[in-house]
């Protein structure tokens, strides 16, 4: 295999993107937009009259009645965006804070006209404390409606003012939405514009934004565009390539593993070693997981050994991937060995780890073995969380195994809430058996 960055005719990266391109487009129904959206779009999903039946999520930072009042205004056809809506908002006397605004944006995110009027009105209110999260919510509304010009107007105006925002998340929203809309060139220009700002350079967010760009392009089938951009940047600035090389490898490895093409991912790993680049968990974990899913445990364990000699070393996810693979294959002994290896190397099992075991017991109807595992967990000081307990008891209930009831009451001392939830699952079966 040729060297990744120094071959004169072709390189592995181009070959890798070519292979990804030959796979099925993850968005085959995509059609490029045939027109541009302007600053004030006519589209709105809100034309329902009458009192709002929407209730906000409980939040002590605002009055739920204020939320209802604002919703009624926004759903009223007579509340036209602009001065009419702003005058109506003035008459309410409500002071909108970020928590209330966020819930309104969550509810009316498909109406850019209304949200812009509300956003600008709230920004002009005396005492309003500007929030970058609300600003990003407004950018997301525009980007979702593909009103990118409007989004950029807000961003450029915001940059001229001494207030918080935009930040990395602002540009990440635009990059993802441009990619989803099949607009790679604006996405790339967004990345380069963001990287030219001090607020991005000083926060060391360049790498994160590049990763978002590459990941978004691959997910939307824009692999040629991603490859061309990397090649162009590599030719202009070799230092840039050295900064982002590990990220590029990591994303490609993940894509290969998701496509069940582990051999190509392993070849990339070998290429990294030949180039003197040390892989990390981002590269190793997807390979270990893919090998475990495929039942290729000897290779997965060998990959784990290669990972162990590195300074970064395996993570909890590395071990969990192997536990999951062995449990799916019905090899409880192998899964137990991985669990012991995990603990001996200083990693405590997580809820995810134990869930893999309980799925195995549930599938085979091994209720007693599951109960024994719960008991051992308690003995080692690990308290099963609510979701784990309910999941396991639901399995017991579905098999109408009532021997566990007294054992649970005696050994686990479940709280009233969890016990009530458990009995909700078993009640119908218990009544039938009675």
Q: Give 303-336 pLDDT, tens digit per residue.
A: 998 888 887 888 999 999 999 999 888 888 899 8
More confident residue, 351 or 153: 153
Q: Is residue 319 part of a domain?
A: yes
Q: Is residue 253 part of a domain?
A: yes
Do 250 and 341 belong together in one domain? yes
Dihedral of the alpha carbons of 175, 179, 181, 182, in degrees to the nearest 10: 140
Q: What is the mean pLDDT of the chain?
A: 76
Contacts of 136 (CB under 8 A, 6+ apart): 165, 166, 167, 169, 170, 173
The band of 396, judged by pLDDT with boundaries at 50, 70 and 90, is low
Do 337 and 390 belong together in one domain? no
Q: Is residue 381 part of a domain?
A: yes
Percentage of residues of the chain with pLDDT beyond 70? 72
Q: Is residue 226 part of a domain?
A: no
More confident residue, 345 or 401: 345
Number of domains the chain contains: 2
Rounded distance between C-alpha atoms, residue 235 and residue 288, angstroms? 33
Q: What is the pLDDT of residue 407?
A: 54
Do 315 and 390 belong together in one domain? no
Q: What is the pLDDT of residue 366?
A: 76
Cα–Cα nearest to 121, from 145, 147, 88: 88
The contacts found for 140-144 with CB under 8 angstroms, 24 or more apart, are 140/105, 140/109, 140/173, 141/105, 141/109, 141/110, 141/111, 141/112, 141/115, 141/116, 142/112, 142/116, 143/173, 143/174, 143/177, 144/109, 144/110, 144/177
CB 247 within 8 A of CB 277: no
Query: Is the model's pLDDT at 380 over the cut of 60?
Result: yes
Do 284 and 377 belong together in one domain? no
Q: What is the pLDDT of residue 379?
A: 72
Q: Is residue 274 part of a domain?
A: yes
Dihedral of the alpha carbons of 122, 125, 127, 132, in degrees to the nearest 10: 30
Query: Is the model's pLDDT at 399 over the cut of 60?
Result: no
Do 322 and 282 belong together in one domain? yes
Do 330 and 253 belong together in one domain? yes
CATH number of the domain within which 268 lies: 1.25.40.10
Q: What is the pLDDT of residue 316?
A: 92
pLDDT tens digits along 192-227? 999 888 888 777 788 888 889 988 887 887 877 887
Do 344 and 265 belong together in one domain? yes
Lowest mean pLDDT among 211-220, 291-300, 405-414: 405-414
Q: Is residue 303 part of a domain?
A: yes
Length of the chain: 434
First to last CA, the chain: 69
The band of 22, judged by pLDDT with boundaries at 50, 70 and 90, is very low
The band of 434, judged by pLDDT with boundaries at 50, 70 and 90, is very low
Q: Is residue 56 part of a domain?
A: no
Do 254 and 335 belong together in one domain? yes
Do 301 and 272 belong together in one domain? yes
- Rounded mean pLDDT, 151-161: 91
- Rounded mean pLDDT, 173-200: 93
Query: Is the model's pLDDT at 140 over the cut of 90?
Result: yes
Percentage of residues of the chain with pLDDT beyond 90? 20
Q: What is the pLDDT of residue 55?
A: 59
Q: What is the pLDDT of residue 116?
A: 92
The domain boundary, picked from 349, 384, 418, lies at 349
Helices of type H across 30-167: 64-75, 83-92, 98-107, 112-124, 132-144, 148-159
Do 254 and 318 belong together in one domain? yes
The domain boundary, picked from 315, 349, 383, lies at 349
* pTM listed for this prediction: 0.59
Q: What is the pLDDT of residue 171?
A: 95
The band of 76, judged by pLDDT with boundaries at 50, 70 and 90, is confident
Tokens, residue 376: 């051992």
Do 290 and 382 belong together in one domain? no
pLDDT tens digits along 55-64? 556 555 677 8
Q: Is residue 378 part of a domain?
A: yes
The band of 425, judged by pLDDT with boundaries at 50, 70 and 90, is very low
The band of 21, judged by pLDDT with boundaries at 50, 70 and 90, is very low
Query: Is the model's pLDDT at 31 over the cut of 80?
Result: no
Query: Is the model's pLDDT at 391 over the cut of 70?
Result: no
- Rounded mean pLDDT, 378-400: 64
Q: What is the pLDDT of residue 139?
A: 95
Do 344 and 375 belong together in one domain? no
Domain housing 423: 370-434
């Amino acid at each position: 295999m040729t060297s990744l960055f120094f071959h004169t005719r072709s390189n592995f990266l181009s070959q890798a993107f070519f292979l990804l391109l030959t796979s099925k487009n993850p968005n085959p129904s995509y059609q490029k937009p045939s027109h541009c959206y302007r600053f004030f779009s006519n589209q709105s999903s809100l034309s329902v009259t009458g009192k709002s039946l929407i209730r906000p999520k409980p939040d002590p930072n605002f009055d739920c009645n204020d939320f209802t009042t604002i919703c009624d205004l926004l759903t009223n056809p007579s509340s036209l965006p602009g001065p009419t809506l702003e005058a109506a908002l003035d008459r309410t006397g409500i002071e909108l804070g970020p928590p209330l605004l966020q819930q309104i944006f969550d509810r009316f995110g498909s109406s850019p006209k209304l949200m812009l009027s509300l956003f600008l009105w709230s920004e002009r209110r005396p005492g309003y404390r500007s929030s970058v999260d609300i600003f990003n919510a407004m950018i997301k509304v525009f980007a979702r409606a593909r009103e990118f010009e409007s989004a950029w107007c807000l961003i450029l105006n915001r940059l001229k003012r001494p207030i918080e925002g935009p930040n990395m998340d602002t540009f990440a929203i635009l990059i993802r939405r441009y990619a989803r809309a099949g607009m790679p060139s604006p996405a790339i220009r967004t990345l380069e514009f963001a990287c030219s700002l001090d607020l991005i350079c000083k926060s060391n967010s360049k790498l994160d934004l590049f990763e978002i760009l590459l990941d978004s392009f691959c997910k939307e089938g824009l692999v040629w565009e991603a490859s061309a951009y990397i090649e162009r940047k590599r030719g202009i600035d070799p230092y840039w390539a050295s900064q982002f090389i590990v990220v590029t490898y990591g994303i490609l490895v993940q894509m290969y593993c998701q496509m069940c093409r582990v051999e190509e991912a392993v070849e990339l790993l070998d290429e990294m070693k030949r180039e003197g680049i040390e892989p990390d968990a981002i590269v190793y974990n997807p390979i270990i997981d893919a090998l475990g899913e495929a039942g290729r445990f000897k290779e997965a364990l060998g990959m784990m050994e290669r990972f162990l000699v590195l300074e970064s070393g395996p993570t909890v996810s590395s071990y969990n991937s192997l536990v999951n693979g062995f449990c799916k294959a019905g090899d409880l002994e192998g899964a137990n060995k991985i669990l012991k290896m995990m603990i001996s190397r200083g990693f405590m099992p997580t809820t995810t780890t134990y869930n893999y075991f309980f799925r195995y017991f549930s599938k085979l109807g091994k209720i007693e073995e599951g109960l024994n595992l719960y008991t051992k967990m308690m003995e080692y000081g690990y308290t099963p969380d609510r979701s784990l307990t309910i999941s396991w008891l639901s399995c017991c209930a579905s098999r109408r195994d009532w021997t566990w009831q007294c054992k649970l009451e005696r050994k686990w001392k479940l709280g009233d809430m969890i016990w009530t939830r458990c009995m909700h699952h078993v009640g119908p079966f218990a009544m039938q058996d009675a």
